Amino acid sequence: MGFLTTHGDVHQGVSGSHYVLFHHNGGRKIGVSWLGESHSNYGYYGDKCEIYEDEPKRQKDCVKNTLFDLDSKIKILRDQTPNGGFYPIQIAVNGHSGQKKYRQQVYRMNFDAKSGKYIEPKNYVLKDIDY
């Protein structure tokens, strides 16, 4: 049994959010997994890059080196085999980080019964985001 919600916040123009999954192990323990959902610094750096509006190369360099805007969608993979009583999940990421673009970049995450939470892959672009 589980519950999915989101948590988000904005600090100094940098915004972000996490999927928050609560999972009950059938006993007395309720675990929680925080998985990156979105992250953007347009509120902070966007205006700084716009000052180069008349200088396309400088504006492009500013965007390339500083701006990121990433968003995602989560899907529970009910057709897959559960681990520890919980189905794997899939998160598809869209957006960009500098010049690197993400179009439906899919990351699969399994529930780790030993740690009692979902584990983000090391290459997950929204892993360990800070906002």
Q: Is the pTM of this model over 0.75?
A: yes
User: Which tens digit of pLDDT belongs to each residue from 71-125?
Assistant: 999 999 999 999 988 999 999 999 999 889 999 999 999 999 888 899 999 999 9
Q: Domain map of the chain by residue range?
A: 2-118
Average pLDDT, the chain: 89
Report pLDDT for 47.
Answer: 65
Predicted confidence band of residue 44 (pLDDT cuts 50, 70, 90): confident
Residue of 27 and 4 predicted with greater confidence: 4
Where do the H-state alpha helices sit in 1-115? 42-50, 56-66
Mean pLDDT across 52-76? 83
CA nearest to 2, candidates 31, 36, 43, 27:
31
Cα 55 from chain centre: 33
Decide if pLDDT at 46 tops 70. no
Cα 39 from chain centre: 7
